């Protein structure tokens, strides 16, 4: 650090700020000089040694239920970007929706001496989570965990479902099928299903039903398309995984997308514009959700003792051909 400071013509304290969490306190010119000196000298701070000396590892843990889910990947990218900005590293553990894996990962994260934890799982190991929460700050993403009083960052699910139904109603759709992943206790899925049922009940002339992804879905979609109803039909998918499953099944059924049936999806994925005339979506601000989750954690690490907060983000409606207006 002394060599970097000498070459850059700055104090050792400035170098420490640059490689630590206070980089934003430096002017752009000083930060650039330090960065060039570090590159010239090939300096790399030993994070583990720094952690031993200071009693800090600058490691943040993230526990996710399914790393294959596009939502998890997008949020994780936001978290990692924010970590990097503040001089932290991210350790990601994927439970693969397996309770035993969750238990093992929690034990591993504790052994790594992480400074904080971001959780996106069902939280079936409540005792272990609460014990860990007594030792370090914890932030929940998307999913509530009962009896765990932590900051929660995610989508305003009720408002998003209302937005979807308002759009379908305005486009002339009257018979709506909601497709969701199986109800396994995930709070966000429960909120979306309940909001859908309440929203349908509040709209005269609109009928709704809920089905889950899985082997029976194709036949359920076939029946939905063929049955008499109060008017034009549309499918509302509860997340990106449900959208992929539904679109595949509709294709296998020989459905003309999107002439026979409308489709609106919660989540925005890169392939949505490529299917038929494009899939209308409600985009979640996944990057902002990830960044906010880390910033909440950082505030707690810096001593914030305020009661647990709820950060509800709004969805953005992106209209494409899958919900064209019906007569």
Identify the pLDDT of residue 36.
Answer: 92
Identify the pLDDT of residue 128.
Answer: 87
Find where tokens 């960065």 sit. Answer: 35
The arrangement of strands across the sheet holding 116-120 comes to 89-94, 59-64, 116-120, 138-141, 151-155, 310-313
In 10 A of CB 26, how many CB atoms?
A: 17
Identify the pLDDT of residue 21.
Answer: 60
CATH of span 157-284+316-323 = 3.40.50.2300
Identify the pLDDT of residue 53.
Answer: 53
The CATH T-level fold of domain 52-155+286-313 is: Rossmann fold (3.40.50)
Mean pLDDT in order along the chain per 10 residues (327 residues): 90 85 82 90 69 72 93 96 94 92 90 93 84 93 88 97 98 97 91 98 96 96 94 97 96 90 96 96 98 97 94 98 90
Average pLDDT value for the chain? 92
Same fold, 52-155+286-313 and 157-284+316-323: yes
Identify the pLDDT of residue 73.
Answer: 95
Identify the pLDDT of residue 225.
Answer: 95
Q: What pTM was computed for the model?
A: 0.82
Identify the pLDDT of residue 44.
Answer: 76
- Measured over the CA atoms of residue 108, residue 111, residue 112 and residue 116, the dihedral's sign is positive
Identify the pLDDT of residue 51.
Answer: 54
Q: Could you tell me the two tokens for 48? A: 């583990």
Measured CA to CA, the distance from residue 278 to residue 314 in angstroms comes to 22
**Percent helix / strand / coil, the chain, rounded to 5:** 45, 20, 35
> Is 166 within 8 Å of 173 (Cβ atoms)?
no
Asked whether the bond before 258 is cis by omega within 30 degrees of 0, the reply is yes
Instruction: Give the domain ranges of the chain.
Output: 2-45, 52-155+286-313, 157-284+316-323
């Amino acid at each position: 650090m002394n060599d970097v400071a000498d070459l850059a013509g700055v104090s050792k304290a400035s170098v420490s700020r640059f490689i630590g969490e206070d980089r934003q306190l430096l002017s752009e010119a000083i930060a650039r000089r330090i960065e060039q000196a570090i590159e010239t000298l090939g300096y790399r701070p030993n994070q583990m040694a720094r952690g031993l000396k200071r009693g800090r590892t600058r490691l943040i843990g993230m526990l996710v239920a399914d790393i294959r889910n596009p939502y998890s990947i997008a949020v994780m990218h936001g978290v990692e970007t924010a970590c990097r900005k503040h001089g932290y590293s991210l350790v990601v553990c994927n439970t693969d929706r397996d309770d035993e894996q969750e238990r093992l990962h929690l034990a591993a994260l504790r052994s790594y001496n992480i400074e904080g934890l971001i959780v996106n799982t069902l939280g079936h190991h409540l005792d272990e989570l609460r014990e860990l929460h007594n030792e370090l700050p914890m932030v929940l993403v998307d999913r509530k965990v009962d009896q765990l009083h932590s900051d929660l960052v995610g989508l305003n699910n009720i408002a998003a479902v209302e937005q979807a139904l308002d759009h379908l109603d305005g486009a002339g759709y009257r018979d709506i099928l909601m497709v969701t992943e199986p109800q396994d206790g995930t709070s966000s899925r429960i909120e979306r299903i309940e909001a859908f049922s309440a929203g349908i009940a509040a709209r005269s002339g609109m009928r709704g039903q809920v089905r889950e992804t899985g082997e029976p879905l194709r036949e359920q979609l076939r029946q939905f398309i063929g049955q008499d109803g109060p008017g034009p039909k549309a499918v509302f998918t509860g997340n990106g995984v449900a959208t992929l499953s539904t679109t595949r099944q509709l294709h296998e059924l020989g459905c003309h997308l999107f002439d026979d049936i409308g489709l609106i999806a919660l989540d925005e994925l890169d392939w949505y514009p490529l299917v038929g005339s494009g899939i209308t979506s409600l985009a979640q601000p996944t990057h902002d959700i990830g960044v906010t989750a880390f910033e909440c954690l950082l505030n707690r690490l810096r001593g914030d003792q305020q009661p647990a907060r709820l950060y509800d983000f709004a969805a953005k409606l992106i209209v494409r051909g899958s919900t064209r207006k019906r007569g």
